Structures are given as structure tokens and as C-alpha cells.
Amino acid sequence: MKTVACVIQEGFAPFEFGVACEAFGLDRSDDGVPNFDFRVVAPRPGVVNSKMGFSINVENDLSFAYEADLVIFCPVPREYWGLIDPALLDLARDAVAREAWVISVCSGSFILGAAGVLDGRRATTHWMYSQHLAAMYPEIEVDADVLFVQDGRIITSAGTAAGIDACLHLLRQEIGAELTNRVARRMVVPPQRDGGQAQFIDRPIPHVASDSLSTVAEWAVQNLREDIGVDEMAARALMSPRTFARRFKADYGVTPAAWFARQRILHAQRMLERTDLPLEHIAEECGFGSAAVLRQNFSRVLAMTPTAYRARFSCLSDEGTAA
């Protein structure tokens, strides 16, 4: 992937537009990240108004986009959903037909829907708009519960910051995990963010008001190999099991047992990304006991086997050291 076209139109959303510019338009060659020929394009060059009361001057028409390796469609204002510019529909159909990468951010999926390129495919958009997308284009399998969806070479993202996740997901496939992690660090975001069964991230222990809960959570993360139950966690917090479970769920949003099980999965993800240790060893370190139990739990939570996860997200693969 060498050329990237970012498509905007009247009423474009500045943040989502900025996400595309940040992910693909900056020179990061000092970090070893390859540069892309990135250009902003519009159906008609000239002044294009944003939805926030300011405008930008776009020099390029859609010609460059017809040759680009990646075409990004920024959000479409709601009042235009039923009136998509025919030039954008033709561009979307051409990009998909020639198997270029295509990303829609937030309501940019309505362009792809109107073009018919999502028919029979799974896709997403902002959760506020998902029912509208499904109603307008019933041939699309709309998934409102994820940050992004990749179906073939089309990636649709949910609202606002989910566009970052979609862009990083594509970068991982094009430039590898290690370089994408460098891009993420420069953007001050995690390389993968939890937001559904296809999303992966190192999730830190959240700050909570109760020091006793934080202390217990940190202790539990350091002892994932052990069979730790709610009673033991509650005793360390100097609470009754019932009180501990109630306060834990209030602060962390899940039960202690569900949280602890998720921490084991997260630790397995980190080990798969950063080491070439065998699955049996990882299973033992994460408290699953055997590779078979690890596979079962990992696949249930992430809809992906540990081996497939390692093949896709290993930071060692670029150097040829991971299995």
C-alpha cells in the first residue's frame, strides 16, 4: 500500500477527517514507518465546509482516488444519507471492483451502502445510526456491537475514535505489528482497543476510588496462575464476599469472576504477541492449566484461536522469530 485518498464532502466531520490524516498522512520515517502518498480529495475541488463552521480548500478532485491503494470515506451528514453524490457512489464501486482497500469511518458507511458494495457483507457504523443503516440497506448484515468490521478488503468503523482502531487494524496488515505499535505510540493510543469480540488490547487496571479494590486487583493480576475465588479476594479487601462483589461490580462494571477470567485472556494475548513460548507454557502461566482449555476460552471470548491470534498480531513476526 503506497497511495491513500481521503474523500470528504460538504459537512465533513473534522475529528474523523483528522483521524485519517493522522494515521496515513504524517511523515513517520524517523520511526522506520513508510510514508504514504496521502491526498485529500473531493467531488469538486475548492472550498469544502465542515459541520463545525469552518472550511478547508481541497485541491484534488476524485481522479487520484481512482488509482489509490486505499480509499477512505469520511462521515456523511445525516441530511445527505439519501442524497449521496453519484460521483462518490461510482468511486466506491470502482475501488471495491479493483480490490483496493476501502475504509469508511462512522456514517461514511452510508456511502458504501448506497453504492451497493456492502450488500451481502457484514458492516458497522456508529451505534446511533446502525438501525438506520440496516433499515435503508437490508442486504447489509449490520453489527452494532463492534468497533470495526473487516469483510474482504472493506473495513467499516463505528463512530468517532473507532476510526483510529480501523486504521491501525489495516496498518497491522500492511506494515506489520511492530511498526503499527510505533504509530500507535506516536498517536498516544493503544495498538488494539477492546470493543467487541474482534478487538484486542492490553487493558490496564482502571483507577477506582477504593484503594483496597485497586490493591486486590493488582495482586490478582500478579497471581493469574492461581485459582483465586471471590472469597479470597474479599478477604484481602477486608470485606464480606457479598459487599466485595457488589462494590467490585460497581467500580469495574463486571463481577470479580468475569474480570479475573478476562485478565487471564489479556495476559495470554500479551504472551502470544510478545513471546514465542508454546501454548502449554502460556496456558500454565495464565492459569488455564492446559492448551486445550486455553484454546476453548480464548476462542469463546475473541472468536479466534490462540494460534491465529499469534499469526496476526505477534510483534516478533516481522523479525522472523515468532512461530
CA–CA separation, 145 and 162 (whole Å): 12
The pLDDT tens digits along the chain (323 residues) read 999 999 999 999 999 999 999 999 999 999 999 999 999 999 999 999 999 999 999 999 999 999 999 999 999 889 989 889 999 999 999 999 999 999 999 999 999 999 999 999 999 999 889 889 999 999 999 988 788 999 999 999 998 889 999 999 999 999 998 899 899 989 988 776 654 433 333 444 554 556 778 889 989 999 999 999 999 999 999 999 999 999 988 887 778 998 899 899 989 988 998 899 999 999 999 999 999 999 999 988 877 899 988 887 788 744 433 33
- Please tell me what DSSP assigns to residue 56: E
Instruction: Name, in order, each residue with C-beta under 8 angstroms of 175's C-beta and a sequence gap of 6 or more.
Output: 33, 34
Residue with cell 484486542: 200
Strands 101-104 and 3-7: unpaired
Contact 65, 31 (CB under 8 A): no
- Greatest alpha-carbon pair distance for the chain in Å reads 67
Domains plus CATH for the chain?
Answer: 3-187 (3.40.50.880), 202-323 (1.10.10.60)
**Secondary structure element (H or E) that encloses residue 194, with its range:** none
Tell me what pLDDT residue 253 has: 72
Helix, strand, coil percentages (3-state) for the chain, rounded to 5, are: 45, 15, 40
pLDDT for position 202: 41
CA distance 295 to 292: 5
pLDDT at 168: 94
